[in-house]
């Protein structure tokens, strides 16, 4: 009887102890899609790892906001449809925030500012889009660079699934020029094809573009976490460190 009483007392205090312990919530996982063909922002390195400014930014934001980030390499031509279908929670793929895109998705606060750059071969005399009338100019389909080409008069626009394919066609003379975001242009013209390509113009006339993380309309929980983490990343200067690492001054 005494043994049973002691057992009941131990069980009672054990239950009280368990109830008093803090409840540890499971760490939330946010799945991101990224078209990793856009160096130095997001790309696949020689070891087949997803790397780049935006990739590091996602992990930094996750650490600061207290969630786990999973990033899936996703082709650009289906990336927005995949978000709408719920295949992932957010897009981290150098998506410029535009009024048209805001009609169908929500965006985080901006994490990088860009302009469109015009790249030509080093033996070209062209310095602006106006110098290329009647010639073929390439860009990645569905990007603001490609829209810039389409909106210019007198150009033959050629679309590509990946910007690297456009750069290679330019390098071998199949294109007269390529238009894309300036950090990507710098990566190709100043590093990969530094002996054959050059940047001749940062295209003015339009609004400065800003990259943001895209989520489905009404996904306020994910958006709040992204903005909280991004705010802390900027407050601590981590964004400046990442820019220096991947893009330079």
Q: pLDDT of 23-70, one tens digit each?
A: 334 579 999 999 999 999 999 999 999 999 999 999 999 999 999 999
pTM: 0.78
* pLDDT recorded at residue 5: 44
pLDDT tens for residues 190-224?
899 999 999 999 987 656 789 999 999 999 999 99
144 and 209 in contact (C-beta within 8 Å)?
yes
* pLDDT recorded at residue 137: 98
Please state the rounded mean pLDDT for residues 156-177: 97
| Integer Rg of the chain from CA | 24
Provide the CATH number for the domain formed by 116-202 in this structure.
3.40.190.10
* Confidence band for 11, pLDDT divided at 50, 70 and 90: low
Cβ-based neighbour number of residue 210 at 10 Å: 16
Q: How far apart are CA 157 and CA 155, in angstroms?
A: 6
pLDDT at 143 over 50: yes
* Residues in a beta bridge with 69: 30
Please state the rounded mean pLDDT for residues 74-96: 97
pLDDT at 8 over 80: no
* pLDDT recorded at residue 207: 61
* Confidence band for 12, pLDDT divided at 50, 70 and 90: very low
CATH T-level topology, domain 29-113+210-246: D-Maltodextrin-Binding Protein; domain 2 (3.40.190)
Tokens 């940062």 locate to 202
The backbone torsions φ and ψ at residue 77, rounded to the nearest 5 degrees and listed phi first, read -65, -15
Q: How far apart are CA 18 and CA 15, in angstroms?
A: 5
* Confidence band for 249, pLDDT divided at 50, 70 and 90: low
* pLDDT recorded at residue 24: 37
Cβ-based neighbour number of residue 172 at 10 Å: 10
107 and 211 in contact (C-beta within 8 Å)?
no
Q: Is 185 exposed, middle or buried (0-12, 13-18, 19+ CB in 10 A)?
A: buried
Q: What is the percent of the chain with per-residue pLDDT over 90, rounded to a whole number?
A: 84
CA distance readout (Å), 177 to 54, 127, 162: 26, 10, 15
* Pick from 136, 182, 181, 135: nearest CA to 158: 136
Whether 29-113+210-246 and 116-202 share one fold: the answer is yes
* pLDDT recorded at residue 138: 98
pLDDT tens for residues 216-247?
999 999 999 999 999 999 999 999 999 999 98
Q: Where are the domains of the chain?
A: 29-113+210-246, 116-202
* Residues in a beta bridge with 107: 214
Q: Is 96 exposed, middle or buried (0-12, 13-18, 19+ CB in 10 A)?
A: buried
* pLDDT recorded at residue 103: 96
The backbone torsions φ and ψ at residue 201, rounded to the nearest 5 degrees and listed phi first, read -160, 135
186 and 39 in contact (C-beta within 8 Å)?
no
pLDDT at 15 over 70: no
């Amino acid at each position: 009887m005494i043994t049973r009483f002691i057992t009941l007392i131990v069980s009672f205090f054990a239950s009280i102890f368990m109830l008093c312990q803090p409840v540890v919530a499971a760490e939330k996982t946010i799945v991101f899609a990224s078209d990793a063909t856009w160096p130095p922002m997001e790309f696949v390195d020689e070891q087949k790892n997803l790397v780049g400014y935006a990739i590091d930014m996602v992990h930094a934001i996750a650490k600061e906001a207290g969630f786990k980030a999973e990033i899936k390499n996703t082709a650009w031509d289906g990336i927005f449809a995949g978000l709408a279908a719920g295949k992932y929670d957010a897009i981290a793929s150098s998506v410029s925030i535009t009024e048209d895109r805001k009609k169908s998705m929500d965006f985080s606060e901006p994490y990088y500012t860009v302009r469109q750059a015009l790249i030509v071969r080093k033996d070209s005399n062209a310095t602006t889009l106006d110098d290329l009338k009647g010639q073929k100019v390439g860009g990645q389909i569905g990007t603001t660079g490609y829209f810039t080409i389409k909106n210019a008069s007198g150009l033959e626009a050629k679309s590509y699934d990946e910007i690297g394919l456009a750069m290679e066609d330019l390098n071998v003379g199949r294109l007269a020029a390529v238009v894309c975001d300036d950090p990507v242009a710098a990566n190709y013209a100043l590093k990969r094809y530094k002996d054959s390509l050059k940047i001749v113009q940062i295209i003015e006339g339009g609004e400065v573009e800003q990259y943001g993380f895209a989520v489905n309309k009404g996904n306020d929980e994910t958006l709040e976490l992204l903005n909280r983490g991004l705010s802390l990343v900027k407050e601590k200067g981590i964004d400046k460190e990442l820019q220096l690492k991947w893009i330079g001054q």
